[in-house]
Amino acid sequence: MPRPSRPRLVGALVVALAAASVSPAAASGRHDHHHDGSGQARLLARATLSADYQAPGPPSGALATPANGRQGPFPGQVVPGFSAAIDNGDGTFWAQPDNGFGAKGNSADFLLRLYLVRPHWKTAGGGSGEVTVLRHISLSDPQHRIGFPIVNESTPDRLLTGDDLDIESVQRGRDGTFWIGDEFGPFIVHVDARGRVLSAPVASPLGKSPQNPLLGSEQPRTQQSGGFEAMAQSKDGRHLYPILENALVGDADKRRRVVAELDTRTGRYTGRTWDYRVDADANLVADAQITSRGDLLVLERDNADGAAAVTKKVYAVRLGTRGTTSKSLVVDLLDISDRRGISTGGGWGTGRQFSFGFQSVETLVPLAGGRLMIANDNNYPGNSARRPGTPDDTEMIVIDPAPRR
């Protein structure tokens, strides 16, 4: 399909979405979409972390569903891909896996962490294409801020696990603390630079999920695994914009995904919401970011893997003044040019026509110069898009969504 033009951002929204309007400006900072006559986005770099990589820590995955020749328990802490990441500007990223093995009941031995990683990019000029894990931050609640029982309730450090929270999105404040979006509540959890919970998790104004530990007799309004998969942050850091991954329970509009607004100064929701509409009823919102230019980008995906995938797309989104949204395509991740052979030999979807068709494409990070970094949650050991029967690696790619002529 032809790529629509992307007008510049409304000025008031560049600062803090004060006018509640993000214009679909060009994510790349350039305004034509041609490269070598293809009109496609271009793969600039790629790096992978082995699916079987395990970080130091206690065994994990005792109750994980066996798949692709792998069965737990695993001797260390599995790193099952990335659901969110933060660019540190020095070649490293803080990368955040989710709750581990896909469910509350099978992830009590999975420790919630952010990993500091350095991709050694493979580009047209060379490079190993490997990802080095440098260290990690463990999320913990030593001061008993959480407000509900956790797996490690009686231990001194009170490390948080995938049974306690399902962490899916993350932003870093200007003070170095992290704001983390969760699906079990859904909650937004504020932690310090060492991962320690600073205050009680902020409950969603959109209702509880079935996994909410404080649900009681209340009827859930948020679907299971339908919480804050995505969360953008305003340029000045003042506001967070968590987005529900799925439709609300009983919503007649199955394509509606609600965007909320949290004021980080008060730790409270402002009451403002917008309705983002996905392309198909079953589609999911996977990540969201506001770029240095003030452009709101939303990563939308279907739940299909490999050749069956239809929607793995990044959209530029305009938030209207009356709670509405409009969007325009930035890049189709199933249609990326790799004419320089950066990905050659990597299995399905690699080579001159590159596709990032993983089931759970969940990480979107704007980079300098308008480039985008994209990464996958590999649902270890479950996904095998590249080579059927072999667990997918964690892939990090850099693309130019609007190549020069």
Residue numbers of the domain that contains 303? 11-400
Query: Rg of the chain over CA atoms, in angstroms?
Result: 20
User: Helix, strand or coil for residue 118?
Assistant: strand
Rounded CA separation 151/13 (Å): 42
What six digits make up the tokens of 144? Answer: 């008993």
The answer to whether position 6 is within a domain reads no
Helices (H) and strands (E) in the chain, counts: 1, 24
Whole-angstrom distance, CA of residue 166 vs CA of residue 100: 8
pLDDT less than 50: residues of the chain? 1-37, 404-405
Given a contact cutoff of 8 angstroms between Cβ atoms, the answer to whether 344 and 360 are in contact is no
- Paired tokens of 214: 């404080």
In angstroms, rounded to a whole number, what is the distance separating the alpha carbons of residues 380 and 375?
A: 14
What is the CATH number for 69?
A: 2.115.10
pLDDT tens for 307-328 read: 999 999 999 999 988 898 999 9
What is the CB neighbour count within 10 angstroms for residue 13? Answer: 22
Is residue 4 in a domain? Answer: no
Could you tell me how many residues make up the chain?
A: 405
> Does residue 373 lie within any of the structural domains?
yes
- Total tally of structural domains belonging to the chain: 1
pLDDT per position as a tens digit, 141-196:
999 999 999 999 999 999 999 999 999 999 999 999 999 999 999 999 999 999 99
Residue 238 lies in a domain: yes
Residues of the chain with pLDDT > 90: what percent? 86
The reported pTM is 0.90
- 405 in any annotated domain: no
Query: What one-letter code names the amino acid at 105?
Result: G
Q: Share the mean pLDDT of the chain.
A: 91
What three-state secondary structure class fits 172?
strand
Token pair, residue 56, equals 């130091």
3 in a structural domain: no
Q: Report if residue 2 sits inside a domain.
A: no
